[in-house]
Structure 1
Amino acid sequence: MSLDGDVIVRVAAKGDGVTADGRHAPLAAPGDRLLGDGTLIAGPHRQVPPCRHFPGCGGCRLQHLDPPSEAAFVTERVSGALAGQGLSGMVRPALLSPPRTRRRATLHAERRGRQVTLGFSESASHRIIDLAECHILLPSLFAVVAPLRTLLATALKDRSRADVHLAQVDQGVDVLIAGPIADGLAAAEGLTRFAQSHGLARLSIDDGYGAEARWEPEPVTITLGGVPVPFPAGSFLQATADGEAALVAAVDAAIGNAAIVADLFAGLGTFTFTRPARTRVYAGEAGREAITALKAAAGRAGRVVAADHRDLFRRPLTPAEAERFDAIILDPPRAGAREQATTLAQAKAPIIAYISCNPSSFARDAKMLCEGGYRLDWVQPVGQFRWSTHVELVARFVRDDVTPDSPRR
């Protein structure tokens, strides 16, 4: 180590800065200098964190990085995961969602007497940070935080905790409270008055037996690709509209004008409904509520969609089934799609567009696909969880020995 300290050269997967010789330093930015006693000397890529709750709040880990360094972190997460599997490919510059654009979030609430704490959990802790401001949530979502805190002071049972799921839907703000709610007519009427007075799209309660809507003046939907889709309470939704648009654009670029497409782990249809209306789509999804909503929306919109309630971990698409499609869209959860990637590696589908929220499981599956004969063409990293260490991506895999014009089985 020099007398001037060691320079932080990169940010590791969990957010620590790392020197060339492998020393780690929390809250360090590239270009900072790490002295022998652990002191950090600020470098050119450090910025003043905008939020008073940083770094305690677990909602953000990287507010001390300037935008170029954060974008580089997102890109390096992807290239590093690929390198760990002995793979390479063109990794495009990362796309970051702007601040205050998160349209879904899960907050945690705790009541002690008349006092309610409501916010994200502290990093690596169950302690809740009581949000006084937030630079990631949409303003419309943050606007209901303080009123919800007041509501929960009577609606939530004393000395208990709850999860509060917020989502921006077509009709406004959707709220799902999962936890022990006070009993009685007065409590129920209070929930309805609250939802009505604050103009909520829906207020649902899940006390352990599934979500039950207590206020829903009109059916709640989320529009995907121009199609209004019923939105079950607590459903998955891409974190930001900006991030969703980036993922959709990358999928469009990956599969082009493919006429027959399989959308695996389809969810509510983020990628199903953004295909051209003339496209024939097979949508496979294990979540019963999600696939029911997708099927209903497709029927109303007159889309040619075969919606299949199918657990792709236990019953992945077979090689013979996969080869019926011009392109396959694969959007698994964080664990990846080991079982489905195994069968796809044996198939000769011309193109695979793989969407991932976990570079490590993606790289593992990518290796299987490449060993099966696919070529990794490019990867588009997307940082829609601004200032967090979560990274998403779209990757394009192609088989050079087959084209979309090859005869389908």
Structure 2
Amino acid sequence: MCVNGADDEIVRVAARGDGVTGDGRHVPFAAPGDRLRDDGTVAPGPRRRTPPCRHFGTCGGCQLQHLDDDAWAGFITDRIAGALRQHGLETEIRTPLLSPPETRRRATFHAERRGRQVHLGFTEANSHRLVDVQECSVLHPELFRLLNPLRGLLSALLPGSRRANVHVTLADQGRDVLIDGLEAEGLAAAEALSGFARRHGLARLSLDEGLGPTPRWEPDPVTITLAGVPVPLPAGSFLQATAEGQAALVDAAREVAGDAAAVADLFAGLGTFTFAFPRAKVYAAEAARDAILSLKAAAGAAQRPVYADHRDLYRRPLTVADLDHFDAVILDPPRAGAREQAEELAICRVPSVAYISCNPSTFARDAEILCKGGYRLDWIQPVGQFRWSTHVELAAKFRR
């Protein structure tokens, strides 16, 4: 029985995934509409669902499998609205676009030996303890099918005192695997690696023994196609988590930029947004050397009018004089945001800015800078491509 009425109802989900009652109590794994009973247990409400994965609650990879899609979308919207309120901002927040289950095309697993076996999976929440993953409702099935074979490979190569990281990605040519923290010296190890890659049809198998990734198997150059342009894919490089999430972000950026003739793509990476504007002249700036070289090579091969600049935008943001040459700017910084670049944008004359963010807090900070400089925040399109995670992404339109 509940004696406190509305105070016992879960009214929202906090940033780290706990449900919050009307009187402010935090309840792990509670959904909006649940009720907290007098004995501390939870009475399920209409927004609760049965988690699809046996590891939920232990594995730190997902925090929100107990929410239905409406509740998860509400969590995403609330996170963004709350961050905006802290900076005195509000705008239209569109319905979140959610990636389906089993669509993640990249992930990083941890591996460690336990006796004769190798455990491979994610760590527990707030812990270094490893969960040996036997199923995953998030990862693309093509990647998940590699886990058991990888356990077999690592059982022959991984020493007992070391933990390795295994990065898996779906590229144009198939599955790309990078293992770091593993040393594989000698003919037997080399044959084991190449034999494994051949048997399982890998696009590439690379090792990073401390000096950067080195391909041990790559029959054909590995690429990822972005807006119809095949781009060389460096081992371990950043890629949007799902094809659906990438498409949603690109569509939003196109909506902001419209028919802009000159576009600046800042924090460009491999060119997710660079190649989305085939009729525009695009300036692409990126600090990661391998990524910008891949972008430049792809642009040259596709004969696109792209100027690729190896540039650290934290140390050397584009100045007002630089920015005023563009009709639109695409800004896609890491989680730290782009305070230095936002300060320059705030005093320039660029008509439209598309801001792509993976952190509502730093986005809202930078949005305040832009709005104080004369921009208007027209709308925000949330994107949920990290299925059942508290990780929130968005695209936003600013205009003069």
- TM-score normalised by structure 1 residue count: 0.96
d(CA) in 2 for partners of 1:230 and 1:221?
4
Provide the residue aligned with 2:114 in structure 1: 112
Partner of 1:322: 323
Structure 2 Cα separation of the partners of residues 258 and 185 of structure 1: 55
On the 8 A contact 2:164/2:181 being kept in 1, the answer is yes
Cα distance 1:33–1:166, how it changes in 2: closer, same or farther (>3 A)?
Answer: same
Deviation (angstroms), 1:183: 2.5
8 Å Cα contact 2:29-2:64 kept in structure 1: yes
Q: CA deviation at 1:2?
A: 3.0
8 Å contact 1:279–1:304 — kept in the other structure?
Answer: yes
Indicate if the aligned counterparts of 1:112 and 1:160 stay in contact, CA closer than 8 A. no
Q: Do 1:93 and 1:381's aligned partners in 2 also have CA atoms closer than 8 Å?
A: yes
Q: What count of residue pairs does the alignment treat as equivalent?
A: 398
Q: Which residue of 1 aligns with 2:151?
A: 149
Cα distance, 1:36 vs. partner?
3.7
Corresponding residue number in structure 2 for 1:289 = 290
Q: Distance in 1 between matches of 2:338 and 2:382?
A: 18
Q: Which amino acid aligns with 2:335?
A: R
Q: Tell me how far apart the structure 2 counterparts of residues 335 and 22 of structure 1 sit (CA, whole Å).
A: 29
Deviation of residue 37 (structure 1)?
Answer: 3.5
> 2:344 is matched with which residue?
343
Query: Contact 1:51 / 1:133 at 8 angstroms: preserved in 2?
Result: yes
Shift, 1:396, TM fit: 0.3
Match of 1:263 among 248, 262, 265: 265
Match of 1:298 in 2: 299
Runs of 5+ consecutive residues of structure 2 not aligned to the other structure: none
User: Following the alignment from structure 1 to structure 2, what is the Cα–Cα distance between the partners of residues 385 and 3?
Assistant: 36
Select between 32-41 and 13-22 the one with higher mean Cα deviation.
32-41
Aligned to 1:181: 183
Q: Distance in 2 between matches of 1:268 and 1:355?
A: 15
Q: Which runs of 5 or more residues in structure 1 are unaligned?
A: 400-409
Partner of 1:365: 366
Secondary structure of 1:389's aligned partner: coil
Per-residue CA deviations over 1:122-181 (Å, capped at 9, x if unaligned) read 111111111110000000000101100110001222221011000000000000000132
- Are the aligned partners of 1:154 and 1:182 in contact in 2 as well (CA < 8 Å)? no
1:3 Cα deviation from its structure 2 partner: 4.6
Cα separation, 1, equivalents of 2:206 and 2:160: 20
Corresponding residue for 1:94? 96
Residue in structure 2 matched with residue 44 of structure 1 by the alignment: 46
1:404 is aligned to none
Q: Compute the RMSD of aligned alpha carbons.
A: 1.0
TM-score normalised per structure 2:
0.98
Distance 1:363 1:78 in 2: 8
Tell me which of 70, 79, 82 is aligned to 1:80: 82
The 8 Å contact of residues 164 and 182 in structure 2, kept in 1 or not, is answered as: yes
Tell me the equivalent position of 1:384.
Answer: 385
The amino acid of 1:211's aligned partner reads P
Corresponding residue number in structure 1 for 2:8: 6
SS class of match (2:301)? helix
Q: 1:397 matched to which residue of 2?
A: 398
Structure 2: which amino acid aligns with 1:54? F
Q: For the residues of structure 2 that align with 1:152 and 1:203, how far apart are their CA atoms?
A: 13
Inter-partner Cα distance in structure 1 for 2:380 and 2:279: 27
Counterpart AA for 1:249: D
Q: 2:211 aligns with which of 209, 212, 220?
A: 209
Contact 2:3 2:38 in 1 (8 A): no
Distance 1:351 1:36 in 2: 53
Percentage of identical aligned residues: 66
Aligned equivalents of 2:119, 2:17: Cα separation in 1: 26
Measured in 2, the distance between the counterparts of 1:190 and 1:226 equals 36
Cα contact 1:119–1:129 (8 A) shared by 2: yes
